[in-house]
Structure 1
């Protein structure tokens, strides 16, 4: 195993690396904390005391801007401790105006005051963390190397009889063993102590320097998620309503009309049996034809809702059958190794079916290319034709309902259809 692979894979190596990161964070943070507390205390109270003669305003602005610089440095230092980069928070800016307007806006920026507050009080966790880290490192190194330096320190107690009275034998050997045992203890507890010390200082800094911004981002993400959920709900309701209206229209225009005619034909045949049997047979034969055509239309409608082949054999087989029934030649590329969620398969099938229907009705295309591929984020469905173009997802157009269906499933629909340049419809569905 190479050195790089060892540092990447070995738990012990990662532990040692983290101890080094935490140690340097605490050791460097202590002098920075002493500098900032003395600097910001002096500047802040000087500016506060001279506000009455207006000199304090530029002093306070300079204090806040200096605190912002130290805060940026601290955010960069915190990143390795947490193993992630902290985002840059939002600072208030004037909508317009020059340097003076921008500088005065700093006085009303809450994050800038939090930066200064951190600079003034960071020495408290820094001092605690620094004391613990120095103590544990000194105890570990000193205890484990006691044999290298113990000889240089005078030990008057070695001339006494105390070790013999306590039954410990030679005083030097006992002392060395005790110091070495202390070194083992400090080394064994070095990682948790150093890690806790670094986290104490880092969490204090994170709470003041990025906590408000992180809370603001969480609220924004929650609002965005709520908005998306509301949009998906509205799209699902709209898609369901469109599907029901379409189904009602198709049944009314097709099977219902044929069933009405079938009833009339059977009634006429009943009257003809006693007077003209041959005409009655002809009427019954025509009624049988109407029955078969009605069944075919009902099967076609059922395929548009939930085709049995999709439920039984999956999306790839259903798309293959759909391409075979298309009036326009279809080049299908849909190799799926496994079954997907029923909602995803149904939506993908509906996208392809609706797109092929629109191609047959409006595009005057000679060929259609259908591609369905699975990637790391979801399912990508693409339908492209060489027709006249001009398709749109705007309300009132044929693809508006399709867009609602895709958004209801949490996906995104994109349509590129320049006039005379064909149409490419792409749906991205989450899996």
Structure 2
């Protein structure tokens, strides 16, 4: 766009991001004063009433009100700053009664963090509001001074903005040079204002994310629950795949084999030649069934991976790929079997995608260790355009990798090449 060619200092005062941040700061002061006044009043009342039974419900109500304030602040940050902070874990009593709820509210660390936010944010909101309004007000006023300087001699009875006056002498900004310098000073204020404003909202983002979101242990529990669901779904899908492969492959061949052998047994005495033909066909079916069972076992967990590690197992996968694949594995030791297995199946699936979709002439597989991470990279010179969209094989791979705290990144511009990089935790 043409506006993107302008310097950032000129674009910044007119960008929507700047005006949204300005709106966030301006709205923040009245809201913060309201949150602070109500929180201090209720907490003080609750603390004073702790000598009686009334103090506990008042304190619990104050904390619940602070959590409501936090929901408003998270929504405001999401709308104006683009900061999406998840809500903290809900408060639930063990028995479900009012007393249980009050006890859970008073024990909730998230509730006390919301109260701390109400206390801390109010002085910060006053400071950021005052500096922002002063900076922006002076900046735009001085920048546009040539447009409204005529107001002073027409209605105020002086030549311009007075810089100095002692009753007998005065210094006014009224000459063309002084007016131009004033406008330039205003321009400096206007161009510096957005960066100052972004620094202020950076502190607001830190406060919202640090005090109004879920705690790290709670976030980790939620993440682990999600990962457990992914692992359960993956295991169920693998079981369905194995069952389908057995039912449609080896089981069907073994059923045909049993039928052929039964017919051969019946004809053995009457027609030995026909029985021999049936036995020969059954022998062929046995070979095919054994090959399918070997392929299925390799898909579950290949013996070469268990016996010789990733280098040999990935070389075996590459040898079966329809395009030439170069494999380079540089590992000082073997990771734990779980991580090793995920790396193996990830590369197998990626090479299958290369064969079926990439229209590539060549592919490369590299595996190495960096600090405490196992790095896997698969590249091809195909058509590109691969996406880790929902419902795609790359999305399923990303979920499987993420279940063990790994990361899958796809770089596949239209026209190629495609590079898929996987980071897995190194656990020896």
TM-score computed with the length of structure 2 as normaliser: 0.51
- Determine helix, strand or coil for the equivalent of 2:92: coil
Deviations 1:14-65 (A, max 9, x none): 9632222211111121122233334323432342233223443343233223
| Alignment of structure 1 residues 90-239 onto 2, 5 Å | 90-96=89-95, 98-99=97-98, 101-151=100-150, 152=152, 153=160, 155=162, 172-212=175-215, 216-226=218-228, 228-229=230-231, 232=234
Q: CA deviation at 1:138?
A: 1.6
The separation in 1 between residues aligned to 2:163 and 2:101, in whole angstroms, is 70
Q: CA deviation at 1:145?
A: 0.9
Partner of 1:377: 390
Q: CA deviation at 1:108?
A: 2.7
Alignment of 1:33 onto 2:43: no
Partner of 1:349: none
- Determine helix, strand or coil for the equivalent of 2:59: helix
Partner of 1:57: 56
Q: CA deviation at 1:141?
A: 0.8
Q: 1:183 to 1:298 in 2, by over 3 A?
A: same
The separation in 1 between residues aligned to 2:211 and 2:92, in whole angstroms, is 20
Partner of 2:352: 342
Q: Is 1:15–1:191's contact at 8 Å kept on the other side of the alignment?
A: no
Among candidates 269, 273, 287, match of residue 298 of structure 1: 287
Q: 1:187 to 1:211 in 2, by over 3 A?
A: farther
Q: 1:57 to 1:248 in 2, by over 3 A?
A: closer
TM-score computed with the length of structure 1 as normaliser: 0.51
How many equivalent pairs are there?
292
Q: CA deviation at 1:208?
A: 1.0
The separation in 1 between residues aligned to 2:283 and 2:11, in whole angstroms, is 74
- Determine helix, strand or coil for the equivalent of 1:70: helix
The separation in 2 between residues aligned to 1:64 and 1:161, in whole angstroms, is 57
Q: Is 1:64–1:106's contact at 8 Å kept on the other side of the alignment?
A: yes
Q: Is 2:257–2:282's contact at 8 Å kept on the other side of the alignment?
A: no
Q: 1:375 to 1:137 in 2, by over 3 A?
A: closer
The separation in 1 between residues aligned to 2:99 and 2:285, in whole angstroms, is 78
Q: Is 1:19–1:195's contact at 8 Å kept on the other side of the alignment?
A: yes
Q: CA deviation at 1:253?
A: 9.6
The separation in 2 between residues aligned to 1:191 and 1:228, in whole angstroms, is 44
Q: Is 1:132–1:194's contact at 8 Å kept on the other side of the alignment?
A: no
Deviations 1:320-341 (A, max 9, x none): xxxxxxxxxxxxxxxxxxx986
The separation in 1 between residues aligned to 2:146 and 2:138, in whole angstroms, is 14
Mind listing any 5+ residue stretches in structure 1 that lack a counterpart? 2-10, 164-169, 266-281, 314-338, 347-373, 381-405, 411-431
Alignment of 1:80 onto 2:83: no
- Determine helix, strand or coil for the equivalent of 2:15: helix
Q: CA deviation at 1:107?
A: 2.4
Q: 1:376 to 1:113 in 2, by over 3 A?
A: closer
The separation in 2 between residues aligned to 1:174 and 1:375, in whole angstroms, is 61
Q: Is 1:68–1:112's contact at 8 Å kept on the other side of the alignment?
A: yes
Q: CA deviation at 1:204?
A: 0.6
Q: 1:311 to 1:303 in 2, by over 3 A?
A: farther
The separation in 2 between residues aligned to 1:300 and 1:189, in whole angstroms, is 75
Q: CA deviation at 1:252?
A: 12
The separation in 2 between residues aligned to 1:283 and 1:229, in whole angstroms, is 55
Deviations 1:180-205 (A, max 9, x none): 11222222233322222123123212
Higher Cα Rg, which structure: 1
